[in-house]
Amino acid sequence: MGDVVRAAVLGPGNIGTDLLVKLQRAPSIEVALMVGIEPDSPGLARARALGVETSAAGVDAVLARDDVALVFDATGARPHRAHAPLLAAAGKRVVDLTPAAVGPYVVPPVNLDAHLDAPNVNLVTCGGQATIPIVHAIDRVADVAYAEIVATIASASAGPGTRQNIDEFTETTARGLERVGGADAGKAIIILNPADPPILMRATVFAEVRDPDAAAIAASVRAMAAAMQAYVPGVRLKLCDVDGALATVLLEIEGAGDVLPRYAGNLDVMTAAAAEVGERLARRLLAAGRRVAA
């Protein structure tokens, strides 16, 4: 298989374009193709300027490439549900950045190791990537009965895909709080803030716990925030408070500014997570190739 895994990015919008730049820093991945459906897409133009081959033929362009083993789908929930069986039949490993949830939910510092061999992994939502690790951190020391998260993002950072998938966002994030975060029940709320200048992303976690231990919760949350900062440097823990059985955690997330404005932390947390997942999957594929060759 060589020293890198060849990959394609499906969807040249804000998320796909930012992801492309991050993947170019991934040591085990070579982005061979950026795919869209509009020939004049700014995202495709940027990819070409970076020396990446492009196509406006949609998923068919990916299916035609035998050399592409890893696909990042940054389109939307509905398109991904159509893409998923086609990519699976072609033997492509898929990282799904949409709320489609065809494959298992994956949040890098929580459960990535358990799904390195899954053919299709889902990154939940931006709110999920920001808050599920915190819910998990609380649950592992205090047993979360109920978790509610509020993701507040700049309206300017919410593109058409985000706006079209609001229902999927809330439903998928709530399920992720339960399935990955460990809460018995979860609820998610998203707020698009129209403030000018745009605000940084803020994510608030409210967790009702059965075993409230303020010191243990604070230590666990701090450790998780540090783990998140390893791949999303703009994550900042602003508050961790325990009042009786209620734990409240406030995060602020600043984007890296690779392609998008720094206030677009909601997009950055997704693309950074996708790059982290992709790199780990690529190393797994490379290791498997070496074992077969041996």
Q: Count CB atoms within 10 A of the CB of residue 170.
A: 19
- Rg of the chain taking only CA atoms, in angstroms: 19
3-state secondary structure 85-148: HHHHHCCCEEEECCCCCCCCECCHHHHHHHHCCCCEEECCCHHHHHHHHHHHHHHHHHCEEEEE
126 has catalytic annotation: yes
Secondary-structure breakdown of the chain: helix, strand, coil percentages, each rounded to the nearest 5: 45, 25, 30
CB 10 within 8 A of CB 59: yes
Q: How far is CA 201 from the centre of its chain?
A: 15
Helix (H) / strand (E) element for 3: namely none
Alpha-carbon distance of 259 to 22, in angstroms, equals 9
Among residues 124, 126, 132, 272, which one is catalytic?
A: 126
Neighbours of 245 (CB within 10 A): 14
Least Cα distance to 128 among 80, 191, 176 occurs for 176
Q: Residue 233: CB partners within 8 Å, gap ≥ 6?
A: 256
Q: Which residues form the catalytic set?
A: 126
